[in-house]
Amino acid sequence: MSSAYHSQTDGQTEVVNRCLETYLRAFTSDYPRKWNDLLPWEELWYNTTLHRSTGESPFQVVYGHFPPPLLGYVTSSTSIGALDHGLLDRNTLLDSVKSNLAKAQSRMQNQANQHCQNKSFKERDFMYIKLQPYRQFSIAKRSSNKLGKKIFGPFPIISRISKVAYRLQLPKDSRIHPVFHISLLKYL
């Protein structure tokens, strides 16, 4: 049990609360006043989600088998008005979630493709290496790194490891792995 602004809760409670908050935020952004109607669905989601610690969902741990799948609903197939309304809301919500997930996937794909580099280098090309400050000491020794260079080289390419990784011929006294991602390489 935890309460607002009370930091003395156990870690497991905090993780569960964070999961439930994320779920509610995702499902109620379009219907903020209906969050309490979604609690049974949230419980179903949580109990049927795979948990890394057990390797199974809580439903599987308790009952020993997978939960039954959700059945589709045909409009007005029940005479109970509240049930009919609730199941129609569920279908609307699921359609909205599917649409939002497709949009998010498309957005993420476009974002990732914007940063994709379709560069290709040949063996024996000379490249400069862009290194983070904590890695610079492994290539060059200096008394002060504060105003030191951020790009080192040029070094020849020995081989291509994959589409995005190349092995460079570094000085013998360097203490860094000679394979670099293309984002760290700059053409001479």
- pLDDT at site 104: 83
Residues of the chain whose pLDDT is less than 70?
1-9, 116-117, 133-148, 188
Q: pTM for this structure?
A: 0.45
Which candidate, 49, 66, 69, places its Cα nearest to that of 57?
A: 49
Preceding peptide of 154 cis, ω within 30°: yes
Residue 81: partners with Cβ closer than 8 Å, 6 or more residues away: none
Residue 117: partners with Cβ closer than 8 Å, 6 or more residues away: 164, 182, 183
Dihedral pair phi/psi, residue 22, rounded to 5°: -65, -45
DSSP secondary structure letters along 104-170: HHHHHHHHHHHT-------TT-EEEEE--HHHHTTT---S--TT--SEEEEEEEEEEEETTEEEE--
29, two tokens = 């952004």
- Cβ atoms of 179 and 165 within 8 Å: the answer is yes
Length of the chain in residues, anyone?
A: 188
Q: How confident is the model over 4-21, as pLDDT tens digits?
A: 555 566 777 888 888 888
- pLDDT at site 43: 86
**Segments making up each domain of the chain, as ranges:** 11-114, 126-187
- pLDDT at site 111: 85
Residue 130: partners with Cβ closer than 8 Å, 6 or more residues away: 150, 151, 184, 185, 186
